[in-house]
Chain A
Amino acid sequence: EAGVAQSPRYKIIEKRQSVAFWCNPISGHATLYWYQQILGQGPKLLIQFQNNGVVDDSQLPKDRFSAERLKGVDSTLKIQPAKLEDSAVYLCASRPWTGGAKTQYFGPGTRLLVL
């Protein structure tokens, strides 16, 4: 079974530029999460999708961050314009909505450096 895929793996941009990250969850997983992990801290949820609907975006800085999951599969997270404090690893995770263990599986992450 293929895992959660993310791209790009690394990105370096200057502040005020825009950037987009892509995630492809495990096949059949209805729930998709984007987490932000700042160096030295645990991941923190930015947004959660159930199929193509938003379940929780309470921690998403909506003035600069946006995310979509148009067909209930792939998702894109965008930052525009980026700030220095957005430098972090952006992790995508997925899990089944119903049945069995509610284990979340994480992708390899996208490491963003804002200069």
Chain B
Amino acid sequence: GIQVEQSPPDLILQEGANSTLRCNFSDSVNNLQWFHQNPWGQLINLFYIPSGTKQNGRLSATTVATERYSLLYISSSQTTDSGVYFCAGSYNQGGKLIFGQGTELSVKP
């Protein structure tokens, strides 16, 4: 099956710093999504981005489908950005998501 690899596994930032999270897929995927899992366990949708670039405030994402990777950019990080970031993709019409292991981000004040 498809393997999803996220890097780095852990990241510690000072408030105000920028960061880039990466997601690599072993095969072509569609329905690629980025999520933020907050400390209470809720998975919050950040982006649906099977290809191209999108921006939402301080966050942006780029997916290069032909090279099977996606990047999530966080600018001017805040303590509320802390949590685990997951990317996930599906490879069939049914949409079953295959998740990476996540990147745990900690933003210090």
Task: Give the B-binding residues of A (Cβ under 8 A).
Answer: 31, 33, 35, 37, 41-45, 48, 50, 55-56, 89, 91, 93, 95, 101-106, 108-109, 111
Contact = CB atoms under 8 A, between A and B. Distances in A.
B95 A102 contact: yes
Given A48-B94, A95-B95, A102-B95, A108 B100 contact: no
A101 B94 CA distance: 13
Given A43-B88, A106-B45, 19 more contacts: A31-B95, A33-B97, A42-B99, A43-B97, A44-B99, A45-B97, A50-B94, A56-B96, A102-B90, A102-B95, A104-B31, A104-B33, A104-B95, A104-B97, A106-B35, A108-B40, A109-B41, A109-B42, A111-B41
18 contacts: A31-B94, A37-B41, A42-B86, A42-B88, A43-B43, A43-B97, A48-B95, A50-B94, A56-B94, A101-B48, A102-B90, A102-B95, A103-B45, A104-B31, A106-B43, A108-B42, A109-B42, A109-B43
B95 A89 contact: no
Nearest to A106: B43
Majority secondary structure, B binding face: strand
Contacts of B35: 106
B99 A102 contact: no
B60 interface: no
Interface of B: 4, 30-31, 33, 35, 40-43, 45, 48, 86, 88, 90, 94-97, 99-102
Given A48-B94, A56-B94, A108-B40, A42 B45 contact: no
